[in-house]
Structure 1
Amino acid sequence: MFVPAEHDPRTLGPATGGERALLVDFLAAQRATLELKCAGLETRLSQRSVAPSTLSLLGLVRHLADVERRWFRQVLAGRDASPRFSSPSEPDGDFTGAVPDPDVVSRAWEAWREEVAFAEAFVADAPHLDVEGHDSWRGTVSLRWVLIHMIEEYARHNGHADLLRERIDGAIGV
């Protein structure tokens, strides 16, 4: 365990109640898991899994900042907001640009926190889970679908983070 069970913020949310509260809590727990898996590794976050992969914890933070940005800021809010770390000419920039530089690490966390804050505010202000946006990949999507998709996205990448963290310093836990 990265934190003692009695101090784990991921277990304090509701286990009953409305759909929105449960979805928001599950997503918050997945976001907290990413932070826990990266805690204390500032200088080692860019360490790659195994060659030739570019997968790293820092790459995951950058990737998830772009994913948050895409679904909440672009698709649901309808804003013109290009990805922060990838581009058509550098589609894997979120991972390839994850280098061991304190400024790169700082900017990644700052971007991720800004996108999470935007997403949290958007969800809190949404009148219902059936708010819709248009995505070039999926077509029309609801806020409900995006929340479920984000939980799945984080859960998948937190599995990667488990393995990356264990490879870096041997730490394991939930």
Structure 2
Amino acid sequence: HLGVNVMGYDYSGYGWSTGKPSVRNTFADIRACWKHLVEEKGTDPRDIVLLGQSVGSGPTCEFAAKLGDDLGGVILHSPLASGVRVLKPTVSDRWPIWLDIYPNFKFVEDICAPTLVMHGDEDRIIHISNAQLLHDRAKNPVPALWLPGYDHQNLDFSPEYLPRLEDFFKNLENKK
């Protein structure tokens, strides 16, 4: 339906993946996927869109921020602004960043690729204010998808979800 190829992966220690789960390993995992697509399969980096859902937004944002113009786009699905901001959404920016995990609110400012943020307003796991902060701070945001009545696990059941993704991918294709 969307006309895209998808490569999914489990973090180390989750699903079918071996190893131990850790923040450090999540970054190694996304780098390994990138290397496979770009170096082994010869995929043009500008044809790649990274999607980070929930905690997966952490390695996605940090990695995307390092890629510069070598990335097609980013989709942040129910993202967290940072580990600390999940626990306390109103925490000050003066909170030492080295004490925080997945400080996406900083990384999103350096993501050059078009960035789509989507979140449900009934999310009780990661408050929607996390996504709003990321959208507000994004270097290259596209119109966000805020879904009234949807929570952390069911955005893809919204009738607006697939059409919004389709528009995002079409706009990326038109900019080539």
Taking structure 2 as the reference length, the TM-score comes to 0.29
Compare relative contact order (CA 8 Å, sep 6+) and give the higher one, 1 or 2: 1
Going by fraction, where is helix more abundant, 1 or 2? 1
Taking structure 1 as the reference length, the TM-score comes to 0.29
Going by fraction, where is strand more abundant, 1 or 2? 2
